[in-house]
Structures are given as C-alpha cells and as structure tokens.
Amino acid sequence: MVKKLDHNVNKNFLFNIIVPVFNAEQYIEKCLKSILKQSYKRFQVQVVDDCSSDSSYEIASSICDMNKNFKILKNSRRIGALNNISNLLDTKIKEPSRTVDLIIDGDDYLYSGDVLNIVKEKYLETNCLITYGSHISSKGIQGKKYPRLIREFNLFRKYFWYGSHLRTFRHDLWLAINPQDLLNMKKEYYPVAWDLAMMFPMLEMAGKRQEFISEILYVYNDNNPISDHKIKRKEQILAAKEIRQKKIYNKRNFH
C-alpha cells in the first residue's frame, strides 16, 4: 500500500523550470542539454531570451522546437532577469502544491543527470517547501546551510547569504510573495541581487520546512564576463542592502 502511494506521488510531481537568457550563445546549449539528460522526466521548461544581441535565441530555439515540453519566448526589449522570471512564474499552474519551480540561468547548467531525482527525493522525504544547496564554480565547491538559530528566529536578512544554487521552491510558496517586494524604491524589478528579493520572503515563510542539499547539483559560470558580480558589483551591494531592510515575512502554514 505504501509503495502504491509513493508511486502516485511521484507520478503527480512536476518540475517547472525557468531559464532566463541574455547573450549566452556560448553556454545555452549546454544549459538546455543538462536539463534534457535528466533521468526524472516529468518537467516543463520555459526559456525566455531577454533581447539578446547574439545567437542565443536561435541556438535555444533549435533545441526547444524539438522538445514538446520546452517553450521559448523572445522579448522585443530587455526587461531584466527578475521581471522575466516573475512573468513566467505567474503563468497558470494546475497544482501549485504539487509543482516545484527551478531557476537555471542560461549561462549555467545542471551538474548531473540525477539532479531532479535528488531534489524530488528531498521534497518527498522531508515535506519541505524550499531548497538551496551546493554548487561548483571556478572557486570550487560552495554552499552552506543556514544555522539552526537563524532558521528558528527568522534572521536570514541579518545573516550571510547562503540561499544559493540550486534554488527550488514549491509553486504555492512563490504565489504567497507580495509582488511589491520584488520591486526597488523606483518601483522597478530589481535588476541585480534579485535572488535575495525572491528567496528571503520564501525562506521566512517556510520556517522549518526548508532544506539544504549538500550534493552538488549546479555549475555556476562565474567566468562569464557579463556576470553582474563582474560589472555591477556596486549596484549589487546597494540593492542587497535595500532588500535586507524590507519587512520580514511571518512563517506560514502550507499543506
């Protein structure tokens, strides 16, 4: 009886994968192929090209057109990663509590073909709402778990930033974010440090139902010359400071 229940849970489990792309022609094929080779196949992929000036869209389209669970959009003007992510995550999802969202930057890729299986097992075993974890970059393996006291007393905005790749979260958790908290003082989507704007509210609402995945799941391409940390570091610091000063979310109960 238990095995039958587990089978049904697995069958109904969907990954909603968002891939924002900008001038990533050297990387986007590897990114999308790392998704295609996943052993767990119940996923859908939404790619958005943010008005790239290179061949990113053409390369991505050639892959998306051959796979029915891949969709691709191209913006006529650049609107930024967070605006794109928000637009795609706001599309209708049939079962928000049975859907887990993943964000994969178009210049990064998944570490192995078992990533979705590892994440799936974590959600099933722990009944968590959100995960973050270990990734690899030119600096080696990175990733740490928030200490118990930080999690217990909801002090994420006062502590070091650990909510890094691979970031996954249940879709109903995303829907509980106040959209205004994704906007800066100019009422525009944060152009940098947007991962903090997304993750802080969800970590705070999730409370104890969050997990750090120690296995390496993600390869972060910090050598990309147009990465924000290379060309917009000052803006990142200022935006992060503003986000950390926003109102803290209370823990919430989710089924």
Biggest distance spanned by C-alpha atoms of the chain:
56
- Using pLDDT thresholds of 50, 70 and 90, give the confidence band for residue 176: very high
Percentage of the chain lying above the pLDDT 70 cut: 92
| 201 domain residue, yes or no | yes
The total of structural domains in the chain comes to 1
Percentage of the chain lying above the pLDDT 90 cut: 87
Residue 5 clears pLDDT 60, i.e. is over it: no
| 250 domain residue, yes or no | no
Secondary element (H or E) of residue 126: helix 115-126
Token pair for 113: 């073909």
| 25 domain residue, yes or no | yes
- For residue 65, count CB atoms less than 10 angstroms from its CB and return exposed for 0-12, middle for 13-18, buried for 19 or more: exposed
The model carries a pTM of 0.91
167, 85 Cβ separation under 8 angstroms: no
Q: Residue 6: what pLDDT?
A: 44
Q: Residue 233: what pLDDT?
A: 80
Dihedrals phi, psi of 43, to nearest 5 degrees: -145, 160
Segments forming the whole domain that contains residue 198 = 2-244
Per-residue pLDDT tens for 86-128?
999 988 889 999 999 999 999 999 999 999 999 999 999 999 9
Residue 143 clears pLDDT 80, i.e. is over it: yes
Per-residue pLDDT tens for 201-235?
999 999 999 999 999 999 999 886 555 545 468 88
| 40 domain residue, yes or no | yes
Per-residue pLDDT tens for 62-95?
999 999 999 999 999 999 999 999 999 988 889 9
| 254 domain residue, yes or no | no
Q: Give me the CATH number covering residue 23.
A: 3.90.550.10
| 28 domain residue, yes or no | yes
| 229 domain residue, yes or no | yes
